[in-house]
Structure 1
Amino acid sequence: MSITPEPPREGEDPREDDIDAEFARLTQGLSLEEAPLTVEDVLSAPSTGSEPESDDAADEEPAIAVVATSVAAAKALAGAIRLGREARTDGIDIPQGTLVYSSETGAIAAGPLQEVSAHDLAAVVSTALQRHGVVLFWRRGDRMTATRYRGGERGEDVSPALVLGAVDPLVEQLLVGGVGIDELGEGIDPSQVSRAQALRWIAFGRRKDS
Protein backbone atom coordinates (compact mmCIF):
# COMPACT_ATOMS: atom_id res chain seq x y z
CA MET A 1 0.00 0.00 0.00
CA SER A 2 1.40 3.39 -0.89
CA ILE A 3 0.76 6.90 0.30
CA THR A 4 -1.12 9.07 -2.16
CA PRO A 5 0.97 12.22 -2.60
CA GLU A 6 -0.65 15.55 -1.85
CA PRO A 7 -1.56 17.68 -4.87
CA PRO A 8 0.41 20.86 -5.60
CA ARG A 9 -0.66 23.81 -3.52
CA GLU A 10 -3.02 26.35 -5.05
CA GLY A 11 -1.19 28.90 -7.14
CA GLU A 12 1.99 26.81 -7.23
CA ASP A 13 3.49 26.19 -10.66
CA PRO A 14 6.29 23.57 -10.58
CA ARG A 15 7.45 24.74 -13.98
CA GLU A 16 8.66 27.96 -12.42
CA ASP A 17 11.44 26.07 -10.64
CA ASP A 18 14.85 25.84 -12.21
CA ILE A 19 14.90 22.13 -11.56
CA ASP A 20 18.59 21.54 -12.19
CA ALA A 21 19.79 24.32 -9.92
CA GLU A 22 17.22 23.61 -7.23
CA PHE A 23 17.93 19.89 -7.27
CA ALA A 24 21.67 20.45 -6.94
CA ARG A 25 21.17 22.95 -4.12
CA LEU A 26 18.72 20.92 -2.10
CA THR A 27 20.37 17.53 -2.35
CA GLN A 28 23.61 18.93 -0.96
CA GLY A 29 21.99 18.61 2.46
CA LEU A 30 21.39 14.88 2.07
CA SER A 31 24.82 13.88 3.29
CA LEU A 32 25.82 10.42 4.44
CA GLU A 33 28.15 12.06 6.91
CA GLU A 34 25.25 13.37 8.98
CA ALA A 35 23.46 10.03 9.42
CA PRO A 36 24.39 6.87 11.35
CA LEU A 37 24.84 4.61 8.31
CA THR A 38 28.52 3.85 7.76
CA VAL A 39 28.40 2.06 4.43
CA GLU A 40 31.24 4.21 3.08
CA ASP A 41 33.57 2.89 5.79
CA VAL A 42 33.10 -0.78 4.92
CA LEU A 43 32.87 -0.79 1.11
CA SER A 44 36.44 -1.92 0.53
CA ALA A 45 36.09 -5.32 -1.12
CA PRO A 46 37.27 -5.69 -4.74
CA SER A 47 34.80 -5.78 -7.62
CA THR A 48 33.76 -9.16 -8.98
CA GLY A 49 33.11 -7.65 -12.40
CA SER A 50 29.77 -9.40 -12.69
CA GLU A 51 26.93 -7.89 -14.69
CA PRO A 52 23.21 -8.04 -13.91
CA GLU A 53 21.27 -10.84 -15.52
CA SER A 54 18.64 -10.09 -18.10
CA ASP A 55 14.98 -10.15 -17.09
CA ASP A 56 13.00 -12.60 -19.20
CA ALA A 57 9.73 -14.50 -19.17
CA ALA A 58 11.31 -17.51 -17.48
CA ASP A 59 12.62 -15.36 -14.63
CA GLU A 60 9.64 -15.87 -12.35
CA GLU A 61 11.30 -16.70 -9.04
CA PRO A 62 10.42 -14.11 -6.37
CA ALA A 63 13.07 -11.47 -5.86
CA ILE A 64 13.65 -8.56 -3.50
CA ALA A 65 15.73 -5.41 -3.89
CA VAL A 66 16.66 -2.95 -1.14
CA VAL A 67 18.65 0.23 -1.72
CA ALA A 68 20.11 1.43 1.58
CA THR A 69 20.85 5.14 2.06
CA SER A 70 21.64 7.46 4.93
CA VAL A 71 18.92 9.98 4.12
CA ALA A 72 17.18 10.55 7.43
CA ALA A 73 13.60 10.92 6.18
CA ALA A 74 11.66 8.67 3.84
CA LYS A 75 9.90 11.67 2.34
CA ALA A 76 13.22 13.34 1.53
CA LEU A 77 14.47 10.17 -0.18
CA ALA A 78 11.25 9.77 -2.15
CA GLY A 79 11.50 13.38 -3.30
CA ALA A 80 15.14 12.98 -4.28
CA ILE A 81 14.36 9.82 -6.29
CA ARG A 82 11.59 11.67 -8.12
CA LEU A 83 14.07 14.37 -9.17
CA GLY A 84 16.79 11.81 -9.85
CA ARG A 85 14.60 10.26 -12.52
CA GLU A 86 14.41 13.64 -14.28
CA ALA A 87 18.17 14.07 -14.01
CA ARG A 88 18.89 10.90 -15.98
CA THR A 89 19.16 11.18 -19.75
CA ASP A 90 19.28 7.47 -20.62
CA GLY A 91 15.59 6.72 -20.15
CA ILE A 92 15.99 4.70 -16.94
CA ASP A 93 12.82 5.08 -14.91
CA ILE A 94 11.78 4.27 -11.34
CA PRO A 95 10.83 0.57 -11.47
CA GLN A 96 7.20 -0.22 -10.84
CA GLY A 97 6.62 -1.54 -7.33
CA THR A 98 9.28 0.64 -5.68
CA LEU A 99 8.31 2.08 -2.30
CA VAL A 100 10.31 4.15 0.18
CA TYR A 101 10.36 3.45 3.91
CA SER A 102 12.10 4.75 7.01
CA SER A 103 14.65 2.69 8.91
CA GLU A 104 16.86 3.29 11.92
CA THR A 105 19.98 3.84 9.80
CA GLY A 106 18.41 5.77 6.95
CA ALA A 107 15.55 5.59 4.49
CA ILE A 108 15.43 2.64 2.09
CA ALA A 109 13.90 2.08 -1.33
CA ALA A 110 12.61 -1.45 -1.77
CA GLY A 111 10.51 -3.56 -4.06
CA PRO A 112 9.95 -7.07 -5.48
CA LEU A 113 12.31 -6.38 -8.39
CA GLN A 114 14.20 -8.66 -10.72
CA GLU A 115 17.91 -7.97 -11.13
CA VAL A 116 17.93 -5.55 -14.05
CA SER A 117 15.13 -3.48 -12.49
CA ALA A 118 16.95 -3.53 -9.16
CA HIS A 119 20.04 -2.02 -10.76
CA ASP A 120 17.87 0.56 -12.54
CA LEU A 121 16.50 1.59 -9.15
CA ALA A 122 19.98 1.89 -7.64
CA ALA A 123 21.10 4.00 -10.60
CA VAL A 124 18.18 6.41 -10.13
CA VAL A 125 18.66 6.60 -6.36
CA SER A 126 22.39 7.28 -6.63
CA THR A 127 21.76 9.88 -9.33
CA ALA A 128 19.40 11.58 -6.89
CA LEU A 129 22.01 11.62 -4.13
CA GLN A 130 24.77 12.79 -6.49
CA ARG A 131 28.22 12.14 -5.00
CA HIS A 132 26.97 10.20 -1.96
CA GLY A 133 27.14 6.43 -2.17
CA VAL A 134 24.31 3.95 -1.71
CA VAL A 135 24.24 0.16 -1.58
CA LEU A 136 21.94 -2.10 -3.55
CA PHE A 137 21.08 -5.41 -1.90
CA TRP A 138 19.35 -7.96 -4.10
CA ARG A 139 18.22 -11.52 -3.55
CA ARG A 140 16.51 -14.21 -5.57
CA GLY A 141 16.48 -17.77 -4.27
CA ASP A 142 19.90 -18.71 -2.92
CA ARG A 143 21.66 -15.81 -4.60
CA MET A 144 22.26 -12.57 -2.70
CA THR A 145 24.38 -9.67 -3.94
CA ALA A 146 25.45 -6.25 -2.72
CA THR A 147 26.61 -3.51 -5.09
CA ARG A 148 27.73 0.01 -4.41
CA TYR A 149 26.52 2.91 -6.55
CA ARG A 150 27.68 6.51 -6.67
CA GLY A 151 26.61 9.39 -8.91
CA GLY A 152 24.32 7.20 -10.94
CA GLU A 153 27.07 4.72 -11.81
CA ARG A 154 27.56 1.14 -10.73
CA GLY A 155 30.60 0.55 -8.57
CA GLU A 156 32.03 -2.49 -6.83
CA ASP A 157 30.20 -5.69 -6.00
CA VAL A 158 30.93 -6.55 -2.38
CA SER A 159 30.10 -9.31 0.06
CA PRO A 160 26.58 -8.78 1.49
CA ALA A 161 27.86 -10.01 4.86
CA LEU A 162 30.39 -7.19 4.85
CA VAL A 163 27.83 -4.42 4.57
CA LEU A 164 24.70 -5.82 6.24
CA GLY A 165 26.18 -5.06 9.64
CA ALA A 166 26.21 -1.35 8.77
CA VAL A 167 22.48 -1.07 8.07
CA ASP A 168 19.25 -1.58 9.98
CA PRO A 169 18.57 -5.29 10.69
CA LEU A 170 15.30 -4.69 8.83
CA VAL A 171 17.25 -4.83 5.55
CA GLU A 172 18.50 -8.34 6.26
CA GLN A 173 15.05 -9.42 7.41
CA LEU A 174 13.59 -8.24 4.11
CA LEU A 175 16.28 -10.05 2.14
CA VAL A 176 15.92 -13.38 3.92
CA GLY A 177 12.13 -13.27 4.02
CA GLY A 178 11.78 -12.78 7.76
CA VAL A 179 9.73 -9.66 7.02
CA GLY A 180 7.67 -9.03 3.91
CA ILE A 181 7.37 -5.65 2.25
CA ASP A 182 3.62 -5.85 2.80
CA GLU A 183 4.30 -5.98 6.55
CA LEU A 184 6.06 -2.61 6.61
CA GLY A 185 2.88 -0.58 6.44
CA GLU A 186 2.46 2.39 4.15
CA GLY A 187 5.35 3.32 1.92
CA ILE A 188 5.84 6.24 -0.43
CA ASP A 189 5.73 5.64 -4.18
CA PRO A 190 8.35 8.08 -5.54
CA SER A 191 6.98 7.83 -9.08
CA GLN A 192 3.75 9.45 -7.90
CA VAL A 193 5.40 12.42 -6.19
CA SER A 194 5.04 15.77 -7.97
CA ARG A 195 8.08 17.90 -8.70
CA ALA A 196 6.92 20.68 -6.40
CA GLN A 197 6.20 18.21 -3.62
CA ALA A 198 9.63 16.60 -4.09
CA LEU A 199 11.33 19.96 -3.66
CA ARG A 200 9.40 20.66 -0.45
CA TRP A 201 10.20 17.27 0.98
CA ILE A 202 13.91 17.59 0.22
CA ALA A 203 13.98 21.05 1.76
CA PHE A 204 12.85 19.54 5.05
CA GLY A 205 14.87 16.36 4.56
CA ARG A 206 17.01 16.83 7.64
CA ARG A 207 14.01 16.12 9.84
CA LYS A 208 13.16 12.48 10.38
CA ASP A 209 9.64 11.25 9.67
CA SER A 210 7.43 11.39 12.72
Structure 2
Amino acid sequence: MSTVDPEEPRPDENGDQAEGSGHPADDIDAEFARLTEGLSLDDAPFTVEDVLSEAAEEGEDEVPTVAVIATSVVSAKALAGVIRLGREARTDGIDIPTGTRTLDTSTGAIAAGSLAETAAHDLAAIASAALQRNGIVLFWRRGDRMTATRYKNGERGEDISPAIVLGAVDDVVEELLLGATELDELGEGLDPAALTRAEALEWIASGKKRK
Protein backbone atom coordinates (compact mmCIF):
# COMPACT_ATOMS: atom_id res chain seq x y z
CA MET A 1 0.00 0.00 0.00
CA SER A 2 1.48 3.34 -1.04
CA THR A 3 2.22 5.89 1.65
CA VAL A 4 2.77 8.78 -0.79
CA ASP A 5 0.36 11.64 -0.16
CA PRO A 6 -1.16 12.60 -3.57
CA GLU A 7 -1.22 16.24 -2.51
CA GLU A 8 2.48 16.30 -1.71
CA PRO A 9 5.07 17.08 -4.43
CA ARG A 10 6.74 13.98 -5.81
CA PRO A 11 10.53 13.69 -5.76
CA ASP A 12 12.38 13.83 -9.05
CA GLU A 13 14.87 11.21 -10.18
CA ASN A 14 17.54 12.64 -7.90
CA GLY A 15 15.28 12.50 -4.89
CA ASP A 16 14.71 16.29 -4.83
CA GLN A 17 11.32 17.91 -4.68
CA ALA A 18 10.02 19.39 -8.00
CA GLU A 19 10.09 23.15 -8.19
CA GLY A 20 6.85 25.20 -7.93
CA SER A 21 3.90 24.72 -5.72
CA GLY A 22 3.90 20.98 -6.35
CA HIS A 23 0.40 20.95 -7.85
CA PRO A 24 0.33 20.13 -11.63
CA ALA A 25 -2.46 22.63 -12.32
CA ASP A 26 -0.48 25.35 -10.60
CA ASP A 27 2.54 24.52 -12.74
CA ILE A 28 0.48 24.76 -15.95
CA ASP A 29 -1.05 28.07 -14.90
CA ALA A 30 2.38 29.49 -14.07
CA GLU A 31 3.80 28.38 -17.43
CA PHE A 32 0.83 29.85 -19.34
CA ALA A 33 1.24 33.14 -17.49
CA ARG A 34 4.93 33.19 -18.39
CA LEU A 35 4.28 32.51 -22.08
CA THR A 36 1.55 35.14 -22.40
CA GLU A 37 3.25 37.84 -20.37
CA GLY A 38 2.96 41.18 -22.19
CA LEU A 39 0.63 39.73 -24.84
CA SER A 40 -2.61 41.66 -25.40
CA LEU A 41 -5.57 39.61 -26.60
CA ASP A 42 -7.98 42.53 -26.72
CA ASP A 43 -8.10 42.59 -30.53
CA ALA A 44 -7.75 38.87 -31.18
CA PRO A 45 -10.70 36.79 -32.44
CA PHE A 46 -11.90 34.29 -29.86
CA THR A 47 -14.45 32.23 -31.78
CA VAL A 48 -14.52 30.24 -34.99
CA GLU A 49 -17.11 32.70 -36.33
CA ASP A 50 -14.77 35.62 -35.63
CA VAL A 51 -11.91 33.94 -37.45
CA LEU A 52 -14.05 33.06 -40.47
CA SER A 53 -15.55 36.56 -40.59
CA GLU A 54 -12.11 38.15 -40.47
CA ALA A 55 -10.86 35.86 -43.25
CA ALA A 56 -13.91 36.67 -45.39
CA GLU A 57 -13.31 40.40 -45.01
CA GLU A 58 -9.67 40.00 -46.01
CA GLY A 59 -10.77 38.00 -49.05
CA GLU A 60 -13.25 40.71 -50.08
CA ASP A 61 -10.50 43.30 -49.95
CA GLU A 62 -8.67 41.35 -52.65
CA VAL A 63 -11.62 41.40 -55.07
CA PRO A 64 -11.37 44.34 -57.51
CA THR A 65 -14.10 46.96 -57.27
CA VAL A 66 -15.27 49.62 -59.68
CA ALA A 67 -17.69 52.51 -59.31
CA VAL A 68 -19.15 54.51 -62.20
CA ILE A 69 -21.43 57.52 -61.80
CA ALA A 70 -23.41 58.29 -64.95
CA THR A 71 -24.52 61.90 -65.39
CA SER A 72 -25.98 64.18 -68.04
CA VAL A 73 -23.19 66.74 -67.54
CA VAL A 74 -21.86 67.61 -70.94
CA SER A 75 -18.12 67.26 -70.29
CA ALA A 76 -15.65 65.67 -67.91
CA LYS A 77 -14.18 69.09 -67.21
CA ALA A 78 -17.52 70.48 -66.09
CA LEU A 79 -18.24 67.37 -64.00
CA ALA A 80 -14.89 67.68 -62.23
CA GLY A 81 -15.81 71.25 -61.27
CA VAL A 82 -19.27 70.13 -60.15
CA ILE A 83 -17.85 67.44 -57.87
CA ARG A 84 -15.36 69.89 -56.35
CA LEU A 85 -18.17 72.34 -55.53
CA GLY A 86 -20.37 69.50 -54.33
CA ARG A 87 -17.79 68.61 -51.71
CA GLU A 88 -17.83 72.20 -50.50
CA ALA A 89 -21.62 72.17 -50.30
CA ARG A 90 -21.69 69.14 -48.01
CA THR A 91 -21.81 69.75 -44.28
CA ASP A 92 -21.31 66.12 -43.20
CA GLY A 93 -17.56 66.08 -43.74
CA ILE A 94 -17.40 63.49 -46.52
CA ASP A 95 -14.62 64.03 -49.02
CA ILE A 96 -13.93 63.14 -52.63
CA PRO A 97 -12.55 59.58 -52.56
CA THR A 98 -8.95 59.11 -53.61
CA GLY A 99 -8.70 57.69 -57.12
CA THR A 100 -11.78 59.47 -58.49
CA ARG A 101 -11.52 60.69 -62.08
CA THR A 102 -13.99 62.20 -64.55
CA LEU A 103 -14.17 61.06 -68.16
CA ASP A 104 -16.10 61.97 -71.29
CA THR A 105 -18.59 59.59 -72.92
CA SER A 106 -21.11 60.02 -75.72
CA THR A 107 -24.06 60.14 -73.30
CA GLY A 108 -22.56 62.46 -70.69
CA ALA A 109 -19.56 62.69 -68.41
CA ILE A 110 -18.92 59.94 -65.88
CA ALA A 111 -17.03 59.85 -62.60
CA ALA A 112 -15.26 56.59 -61.94
CA GLY A 113 -12.73 54.88 -59.73
CA SER A 114 -11.74 51.62 -58.08
CA LEU A 115 -13.70 52.49 -54.95
CA ALA A 116 -15.05 50.57 -51.99
CA GLU A 117 -18.83 50.61 -51.66
CA THR A 118 -18.96 53.29 -48.95
CA ALA A 119 -16.58 55.55 -50.88
CA ALA A 120 -18.64 55.09 -54.04
CA HIS A 121 -21.80 56.26 -52.27
CA ASP A 122 -19.91 59.20 -50.77
CA LEU A 123 -18.87 60.27 -54.26
CA ALA A 124 -22.44 59.97 -55.56
CA ALA A 125 -23.75 62.06 -52.67
CA ILE A 126 -21.15 64.77 -53.35
CA ALA A 127 -21.80 64.87 -57.10
CA SER A 128 -25.58 65.00 -56.76
CA ALA A 129 -25.40 67.72 -54.10
CA ALA A 130 -24.08 70.16 -56.69
CA LEU A 131 -26.29 68.94 -59.53
CA GLN A 132 -29.39 69.43 -57.35
CA ARG A 133 -32.47 68.45 -59.37
CA ASN A 134 -30.51 66.60 -62.05
CA GLY A 135 -30.48 62.96 -61.01
CA ILE A 136 -27.50 60.66 -61.42
CA VAL A 137 -27.01 56.89 -61.21
CA LEU A 138 -24.26 55.16 -59.27
CA PHE A 139 -23.17 51.79 -60.62
CA TRP A 140 -20.94 49.69 -58.36
CA ARG A 141 -19.50 46.23 -58.76
CA ARG A 142 -17.39 43.79 -56.77
CA GLY A 143 -17.05 40.24 -58.04
CA ASP A 144 -20.46 38.90 -59.05
CA ARG A 145 -22.34 41.65 -57.26
CA MET A 146 -23.49 44.67 -59.26
CA THR A 147 -25.78 47.43 -58.01
CA ALA A 148 -27.34 50.60 -59.39
CA THR A 149 -28.61 53.41 -57.14
CA ARG A 150 -30.27 56.70 -57.98
CA TYR A 151 -29.10 59.93 -56.30
CA LYS A 152 -30.74 63.36 -56.36
CA ASN A 153 -30.15 66.57 -54.40
CA GLY A 154 -27.36 64.89 -52.50
CA GLU A 155 -29.66 62.17 -51.21
CA ARG A 156 -29.67 58.46 -51.90
CA GLY A 157 -32.73 57.25 -53.77
CA GLU A 158 -33.98 53.86 -54.87
CA ASP A 159 -31.89 50.86 -55.83
CA ILE A 160 -32.75 49.69 -59.32
CA SER A 161 -31.78 46.88 -61.64
CA PRO A 162 -28.54 47.79 -63.46
CA ALA A 163 -29.94 46.24 -66.63
CA ILE A 164 -32.75 48.80 -66.71
CA VAL A 165 -30.45 51.82 -66.87
CA LEU A 166 -27.35 50.47 -68.60
CA GLY A 167 -29.12 50.74 -71.95
CA ALA A 168 -29.38 54.51 -71.52
CA VAL A 169 -25.65 55.14 -71.04
CA ASP A 170 -22.55 54.76 -73.17
CA ASP A 171 -21.37 51.17 -73.69
CA VAL A 172 -18.12 52.03 -71.92
CA VAL A 173 -19.98 52.06 -68.60
CA GLU A 174 -21.01 48.43 -68.98
CA GLU A 175 -17.54 47.53 -70.24
CA LEU A 176 -15.98 49.05 -67.12
CA LEU A 177 -18.40 47.23 -64.84
CA LEU A 178 -17.83 43.89 -66.56
CA GLY A 179 -14.06 44.30 -66.67
CA ALA A 180 -13.96 44.30 -70.48
CA THR A 181 -12.31 47.73 -70.29
CA GLU A 182 -9.98 48.89 -67.54
CA LEU A 183 -10.06 52.42 -66.18
CA ASP A 184 -6.43 52.95 -67.13
CA GLU A 185 -7.28 52.24 -70.77
CA LEU A 186 -9.44 55.38 -70.79
CA GLY A 187 -6.61 57.67 -69.74
CA GLU A 188 -5.92 59.59 -66.56
CA GLY A 189 -9.11 61.62 -66.73
CA LEU A 190 -9.52 64.66 -64.49
CA ASP A 191 -9.10 64.69 -60.71
CA PRO A 192 -11.77 66.91 -59.08
CA ALA A 193 -10.00 66.82 -55.71
CA ALA A 194 -7.04 68.68 -57.19
CA LEU A 195 -9.10 71.78 -58.06
CA THR A 196 -9.44 74.99 -56.09
CA ARG A 197 -12.87 76.58 -55.82
CA ALA A 198 -11.97 79.22 -58.39
CA GLU A 199 -10.71 76.56 -60.80
CA ALA A 200 -13.88 74.54 -60.30
CA LEU A 201 -16.05 77.52 -61.25
CA GLU A 202 -13.88 78.18 -64.29
CA TRP A 203 -14.00 74.55 -65.35
CA ILE A 204 -17.78 74.47 -65.08
CA ALA A 205 -18.10 77.61 -67.20
CA SER A 206 -15.60 76.46 -69.84
CA GLY A 207 -16.79 72.86 -69.84
CA LYS A 208 -20.40 73.50 -70.73
CA LYS A 209 -19.65 72.59 -74.32
CA ARG A 210 -17.75 69.57 -75.49
CA LYS A 211 -14.44 70.37 -77.07
TM-score normalised per structure 2: 0.71
Structure 1 unaligned spans of 5+ = 1-55
The within-5 A match list for 1:112-123 is 112-123=114-125
Percent of aligned pairs with the same residue? 66
Secondary structure of 1:198's partner?
A: helix
The within-5 A match list for 1:193-208 is 193-208=195-210
Partner in structure 1 of residue 164 of structure 2: 162
Partner in structure 2 of residue 126 of structure 1: 128
Aligned length: 154
- Counterpart-to-counterpart distance in 2, 1:107 and 1:114: 21
C-alpha deviation, 1:94, in angstroms: 0.5
Secondary structure of 1:188's partner?
A: coil
The within-5 A match list for 1:1-210 is 59-60=60-61, 61-208=63-210, 210=211
Q: CA deviation digits over 1:121-155, x for unaligned, max 9?
A: 10011012111100000000000000000000000
Structure 1 residue ranges (4+ consecutive) displaced by more than 2 angstroms after TM superposition: 56-59
**Amino acid aligned to 1:188:** L
- Counterpart-to-counterpart distance in 2, 1:205 and 1:129: 15
Secondary structure of 1:155's partner?
A: strand
Flag the structure with more relative contact order, 1 or 2, with Cα contacts below 8 A and sequence separation at least 6.
1
- Counterpart-to-counterpart distance in 1, 2:139 and 2:161: 10
- Counterpart-to-counterpart distance in 1, 2:59 and 2:118: 14
Structure 2 unaligned spans of 5+ = 1-56
C-alpha deviation, 1:86, in angstroms: 0.4
C-alpha deviation, 1:203, in angstroms: 1.4
**Amino acid aligned to 2:105:** S
- Counterpart-to-counterpart distance in 1, 2:142 and 2:134: 27
TM-score normalised per structure 1: 0.71
Q: CA deviation digits over 1:13-36, x for unaligned, max 9?
A: xxxxxxxxxxxxxxxxxxxxxxxx
- Counterpart-to-counterpart distance in 2, 1:177 and 1:128: 29
Whether the 8 Å CA contact 1:71–1:205 is kept in 2: the answer is no
- Counterpart-to-counterpart distance in 2, 1:206 and 1:100: 14
